[in-house]
């Protein structure tokens, strides 16, 4: 059976990319709240900085998805880049590639190198980096197809 002229694939809707970016940011925000508030694992300083960039993303992307505001990439992309930069630095510290003069995790709190800080076998800093990266890719796609 051959496809007719009307069977060409449709381009993805820009709102779908916006909704996906919001869903990723919301899921990440709820996950870290669960880890911190339900599991009782206090985040280190670098995790707090990453939260400072992720939580606003969940809010502004949600409002933009509700309003179908396709220009939100201008405001959300810088948050994703900055949060991703902190997550990259945190991941490099975790991997031992960068040595820090100040230990990012306090002696009284959890250590990011602890096995309790692994989710699906991946460290939380790496998951954060992947999440910010996914949001940024979705925002780039949103910009690309909405202009």
pLDDT at 113: 58
Task: Judge whether 8 lies within some domain.
Answer: no
Spatial CA neighbour of 135 closest among 68, 56, 41:
56
For residue 123, the domain's CATH number is 1.20.1550
**Number of domains comprising the chain:** 1
Which structural domain range is residue 132 located in?
Answer: 13-98+110-146
Task: Judge whether 4 lies within some domain.
Answer: no
- How confident is the model over 89-106, as pLDDT tens digits? 988 988 888 886 555 455
- How confident is the model over 42-88, as pLDDT tens digits? 778 888 899 999 999 999 999 999 999 999 999 999 999 999 999 99
Q: Is the pTM of this model over 0.85?
A: no
Q: How far apart are CA 49 and CA 95, in angstroms?
A: 19
């Amino acid at each position: 059976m051959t496809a007719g002229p009307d069977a060409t694939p449709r381009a993805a809707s820009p709102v779908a990319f916006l909704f996906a970016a919001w869903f990723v940011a919301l899921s990440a925000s709820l996950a870290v709240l669960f880890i911190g508030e339900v599991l009782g694992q206090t985040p280190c300083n670098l995790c707090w900085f990453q939260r400072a960039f992720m939580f606003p993303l969940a809010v502004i992307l949600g409002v933009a998805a509700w309003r179908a505001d396709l220009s939100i990439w201008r405001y959300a992309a810088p948050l994703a880049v900055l949060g991703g930069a902190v997550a990259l630095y945190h991941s490099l510290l975790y991997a031992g590639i960068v040595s820090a003069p100040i230990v990012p995790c306090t002696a009284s709190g959890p250590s990011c190198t602890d096995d309790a800080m692994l989710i699906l076998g991946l460290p939380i800093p790496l998951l954060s980096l992947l999440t910010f990266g996914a949001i940024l890719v979705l925002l780039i796609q949103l910009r690309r197809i909405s202009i």
